[in-house]
């Protein structure tokens, strides 16, 4: 079972990363794979009640890989941690299968009280670089979290969220099953960007209207001044 899970993890990396050219390269050069291997052993020690050895092993794994996974966290199969540096996964986090995690991702807690404090991540989720998923929230199957997003509430299955705090975008780009770094490539999908663009267009329209009104006002002033001058010349001639 352990060997099959290990091979699945290697093949999952090769499927998700075009830079991975062979299984041997993945085994030797991918810290995400190493971190998960350390974690599976540390997790067994944790549930056998060997809490200190489990924490020590996870600490060694963090020093070697730059990835910190608490031995109490539950991790499914075919998890891919790409690049990996700075990834933090808390004690009560639960991860399903086929999840893609980029560097600087945090699955953190927001409470100092014991119990469930960390997120539950469904199957097939992508967590973009720098994403922060905080608290005992749920990310549904197939959800996408954009780079640097901060997620503090549940995300429906299949939804894509971006921003701080994270908000759901209107749709996923057509044909986009795997979004690199979890981020939509079409900026128009971001409601914040759309609102800003609408505001920019309104300001441009108002500026154009103001320029027309100013030009009309100047023409009216010029016409009035010319009429006054003409009236002055006519009055002088009559005298």
Whether residue 124 is found in the same domain as residue 222? no
Residue ending a domain, among 147, 164, 185, is 185
Measured distance CA(131)–CA(125) in Å, rounded: 12
Q: What confidence tens digit (pLDDT) does each residue in 210-235 have?
A: 888 888 888 777 666 666 666 666 65
Percentage of the chain with pLDDT > 70? 81
**94 lies in the same domain as 210:** no
**Same-domain check for residues 63 and 130:** yes
- Predicted local distance difference test score (pLDDT) of residue 172: 55
Contacts of 16 (CB under 8 A, 6+ apart): 80, 82, 100, 178
Is there a contact between 91 and 117 (Cβ–Cβ < 8 Å)?
yes
Mean pLDDT for the chain overall:
84
Long-range contacts made by residues 224-228, C-beta under 8 angstroms, separation at least 24? none
* Distance in angstroms (rounded) separating the CA atoms of residues 194 and 104: 27
Q: Whose CA is closest to 190, among 204, 174, 173?
A: 173
Closest CA to 73 of 102, 38, 104, 98: 38
The CATH number for 142's domain is: 2.160.10.10
Query: What residue numbers bound the domain in which 171 lies?
Result: 2-185
> Rounded CA gap, 107 and 89, in Å?
5
**Same-domain status, 96 and 147:** yes
Instruction: Answer yes or no: do 32 and 114 share one domain.
Output: yes
Please say whether the beta carbons of 144 and 168 come within 8 A: no
227 and 213 assigned to the same domain: yes
Residues 113 and 224 in one domain: no
Average pLDDT, integer, range 111-136: 91
**What gap in Å lies between CA 64 and CA 44, rounded to an integer?**
20
**Last residue within a domain, chosen from 144, 170, 185:** 185
Same-domain check for residues 209 and 173: no
User: Do both 130 and 216 map to the same domain?
Assistant: no
In a shared domain, residues 178 and 238: no
Percent of the chain surpassing pLDDT 90 = 47
Q: Are 115 and 133 in contact (CB under 8 A)?
A: no
- Grouping H, G, I as helix, E, B as strand and the rest as coil, residue 39 is helix
- Residue 153 — very low, low, confident or very high, per pLDDT cuts 50/70/90? very high
Q: Which two tokens stand for residue 17?
A: 């990363």
What's the total number of domains in the chain? 2
Statement to judge: residues 152 and 62 lie in one domain: yes
């Amino acid at each position: 079972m352990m060997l099959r899970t290990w091979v699945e993890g290697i093949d999952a990396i090769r499927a998700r990363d075009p830079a991975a050219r062979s299984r041997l390269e993945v085994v030797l050069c991918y810290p995400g794979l190493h971190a998960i291997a350390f974690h599976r052993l540390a997790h067994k020690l944790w549930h056998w009640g060997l809490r200190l050895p489990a924490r020590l092993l996870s600490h060694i794994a963090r020093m070697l890989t730059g990835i910190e996974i608490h031995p109490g966290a539950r991790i499914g199969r075919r998890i891919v941690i790409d690049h990996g540096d700075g990834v933090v996964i808390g004690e009560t986090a639960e991860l399903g299968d086929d999840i893609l995690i980029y560097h600087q991702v945090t699955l953190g807690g927001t409470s100092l009280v014991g119990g469930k404090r960390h997120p539950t991540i469904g199957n097939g989720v992508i967590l973009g670089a720098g994403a922060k998923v905080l608290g005992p929230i749920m990310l549904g199957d197939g959800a996408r979290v954009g780079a640097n997003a901060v997620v503090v509430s549940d995300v429906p299955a299949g939804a894509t969220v971006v921003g701080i705090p994270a908000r759901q975008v209107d749709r996923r780009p057509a044909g986009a099953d795997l979004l690199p770094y979890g981020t939509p490539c079409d900026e128009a999908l971001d409601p914040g960007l759309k609102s800003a663009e609408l505001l920019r267009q309104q300001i441009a329209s108002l500026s154009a209207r103001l320029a027309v009104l100013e030009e009309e006002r100047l023409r009216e002033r010029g016409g009035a001044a010319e009429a006054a001058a003409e009236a002055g010349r006519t009055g002088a001639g009559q005298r």
